[in-house]
Structure 1
């Protein structure tokens, strides 16, 4: 059989094929074939602007393959072979995986291009022995966030919440050790990158700002707080240039009936607050506009909704009940779509998603090169 010269395909045909591709990752792969295909598929031709994150499912036992659930298509697809992530604890930020191996080494891995960068070892954290906990490589890091995509800039920072008391630390390319943020007023629950700084929220519902590129990179400044809430789970996320705090209810284990030893759990409500950092005003809102939030294990992100593939004013959430994963071995079932306006919940995934090391998590689609 004669070999096909893919670069010789008719330009008009290539342009039309490119315009029919609906998934951003497929469009990126189309552009990577050769120079003529990339020329026939300029970024402006991608019509389906909603870049919904994919749900990365837990790995099959002893397998290097990872499955991704694609919400717009309502299907599961087996994507790239990822031996770099096998048997490791995984976190997700800006389309990258932050991994921790049983030997406590850490890496940044891009699941689609398979680019990889080393991160400082867990044992390079200040006072890591004092902060140590059971199942170190699976539980020592609580959250990991990138400031920017390492494929596009060498000037990026990784911020993590770590240890049994939830401390902040960061590393930059070339660092041999993690640098601790000294300011701590309570366990940090979540952290996000917003307008050039990292913003973290702790168990006291205080929001702390960290300017790791400023004059005092190891100091966190309190910029907002409230005493009205005692959340089970709290997220902080940037959305359309605004800073939102989201409280989640029902994520912890609770008795089925009063006095019963049998437990259950399941999300039943989210509360969304718009935070004005200049006035410390927390406004509960029922409308986040033409956007959707994707929340869950190490994932707090917002995307523009197109009304077709992603529904506006919704929260897409994954299972965040740590106790269910580790002690009950029943995690991975509390996943759905929450309507912020009326409080209704609908499911989106019914498969088996239990895995203590890598719960289901949102991964942003690859960027076009």
Structure 2
């Protein structure tokens, strides 16, 4: 075809760009020329990428004056270098909506889109979350206290898409070390705390399904709130939905390294249990300080809608789970992800200071059917004391 592609009609270019299947294709389209960038800018809010996840790798502070940070594309197995100074010295949690939640060294929180550089501020964690008090004032000024807050004050943050009846699009839920969850919306001045029920178990994950917000407890119990009330912070007492099932967890329930995750699959709920173990050196007594811990297996359960009990499953045909330092996600495997598998990143933040080169090593892909673990990223830029790699679905 002869002619100047840069002068193609806007409506034709818009039609072409809406058929692009991936985020990187859309980015390349927008970089062709100013004319094409104008088209991309005008339709990007209505265009959605095929949700093949990306991996935001650990920051590199050595000889990196431009603050480049690598992002690994799980689809084409390529790394991109983006200038992301905003993400340096922050703790990051990925999500399914293009956003990464960031906590900086002053405990400020915001949603940040690594592609578009858009950001949404949320309330600071300082003076809002229990366990910040009770320490000697001089200790608060120390560097290791700040790092401890970033690593251990919040164990996980999940991004939830609010219902259409709400005036805001996103709510974030922080799972805190103080046996509570903290909920915040854009423009809120503070976090709203919800304490765990009396007992030994913490709340560990959250999803929205239909008109309910479900929260998973560490013992496998499910509770819920009405979604509209939850997003408007009009909390009533949580409603029990599914009981604890001791035979699933057994004696491992309180084991430090085990983690539980909750994901939505259409109109069904899935629970994932991740089992980790200590790794010792050749003496068999002391830690192997290169690793310290590692994941060795997963179990996957689906909630029976009739009796509200968890039932173990071995097959997720055409689907892939993503767990770790991110909102737990279930995506279509397509042609690029390993089917019936779990991609996982290191989320054992309380122990990231122990290995010689910090955390980030406990990362891979678990084949549910064969119970085998392999690597999906071979690079060595994964280690960090407060922000190892996290998975997110890119969007403009």
Aligned 8 A contact 2:130 2:178 in 1: no
Q: Secondary structure at the match of 2:29?
A: helix
Matches within 5 A, 1:76-225: 76-79=79-82, 81-93=83-95, 94-125=97-128, 127=130, 129-130=132-133, 134=145, 135-148=148-161, 154-162=168-176, 164-185=177-198, 186-211=201-226, 213-214=228-229, 217=235, 219-224=237-242, 225=244
- Paired residue for 1:365? 394
CA-based RMSD: 3.6
Matches within 5 A, 1:36-47: none
Aligned residue pair count: 356
Shift of 1:195: 2.8
Q: Distance in 2 between matches of 1:175 and 1:16?
A: 39
Shift in CA distance, 115/187, structure 1 to aligned 2, threshold 3 Å: same
Shift of 1:327: 1.1
Shift of 1:333: 2.4
Shift in CA distance, 16/196, structure 1 to aligned 2, threshold 3 Å: closer
Q: Distance in 1 between matches of 2:173 and 2:266?
A: 22
Shift of 1:38: 7.8
TM-score under structure 1 length normalisation: 0.83
TM-score under structure 2 length normalisation: 0.78
Shift of 1:255: 3.6
Q: Secondary structure at the match of 2:352?
A: helix
Aligned 8 A contact 2:318 2:332 in 1: yes
Q: Secondary structure at the match of 1:51?
A: coil
Q: Distance in 1 between matches of 2:383 and 2:344?
A: 15
Shift of 1:131: 8.3
Q: Distance in 2 between matches of 1:54 and 1:210?
A: 31
Residues 53-73 of structure 1: CA deviation (Å, up to 9, x unaligned): 100001111653221011221
Shift in CA distance, 342/5, structure 1 to aligned 2, threshold 3 Å: same
Shift in CA distance, 6/210, structure 1 to aligned 2, threshold 3 Å: farther
Q: Which ranges of structure 2 fall in alignment gaps of 5 or more residues?
A: none
Aligned 8 A contact 1:146 1:159 in 2: yes
Shift of 1:277: 5.3
Shift of 1:342: 1.5
Aligned 8 A contact 2:323 2:343 in 1: yes
Q: Which ranges of structure 1 fall in alignment gaps of 5 or more residues?
A: none
- Paired residue for 2:341? 314
Aligned 8 A contact 2:358 2:385 in 1: no
Q: Secondary structure at the match of 2:170?
A: coil
Residues 12-70 of structure 1: CA deviation (Å, up to 9, x unaligned): 996998599663343256268345568999989x9xx7521100001111653221011
Task: Tell me if 1:356 matches 2:375.
Answer: no
